[in-house]
């Protein structure tokens, strides 16, 4: 097997401060370097949601150093999967990409108790995504 990633995934939400950061953290943690991970926001916030950071640290995933980033056309073009989480039409569409929209509650302004169920739902979706990426790679072998 080559050392290049099996796929590249971009997570997009409006502020790139909660859902997309948790998703990127889980994918990096669970898939390692098998998958290239990016996250961005259409209107990035100033910092990652502290409740999201705390909720992720509870399950052994450190996103405390993550910083919200602006969504760029280049990031979308460089990704195989583009997963939106409430950014609507702000995400540019390119042929040949797999677009998924994950309807997840926005953790903005919520305490860690309210963020935990969102975190847990993201983990379930990330595990399914990894299985899909692995299956697609195996099909290409």
Residue 54 annotated as catalytic: no
N- to C-terminal Cα separation, the chain: 9
Q: How far apart are CA 114 and CA 105, in angstroms?
A: 10
CA separation for the pair 33, 13 (Å, rounded): 23
d(CA 86, CA 84): 6
Active site residue 19: no
Which position among 17, 27, 61, 87 bears the catalytic label?
87
Is residue 91 annotated as part of the catalytic site, yes or no? yes
Q: Choosing from 7, 9, 12, 13, which is the catalytic residue? A: 13
Catalytic residue (one of 61, 83, 91, 122): 91
- Tell me which residues are annotated as active site: 13, 87, 91
């Amino acid at each position: 097997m080559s050392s290049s990633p099996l796929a590249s995934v971009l997570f997009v939400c409006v502020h790139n401060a909660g859902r997309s950061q948790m998703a990127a953290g889980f994918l990096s943690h669970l898939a390692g370097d098998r998958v290239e991970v990016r996250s961005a926001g259409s209107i990035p916030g100033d910092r990652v949601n502290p409740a999201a950071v705390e909720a992720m640290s509870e399950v052994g995933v450190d996103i405390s150093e993550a910083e919200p980033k602006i969504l760029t056309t280049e990031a979308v073009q460089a990704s195989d999967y583009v997963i939106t989480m409430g950014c609507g039409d702000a995400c540019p569409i390119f042929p040949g990409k797999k677009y998924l929209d994950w309807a997840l509650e926005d953790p903005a302004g919520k305490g860690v108790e309210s963020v935990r169920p969102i975190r847990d739902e993201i983990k379930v979706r990330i595990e399914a995504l990894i299985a899909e990426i692995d299956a697609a790679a195996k099909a290409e072998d």
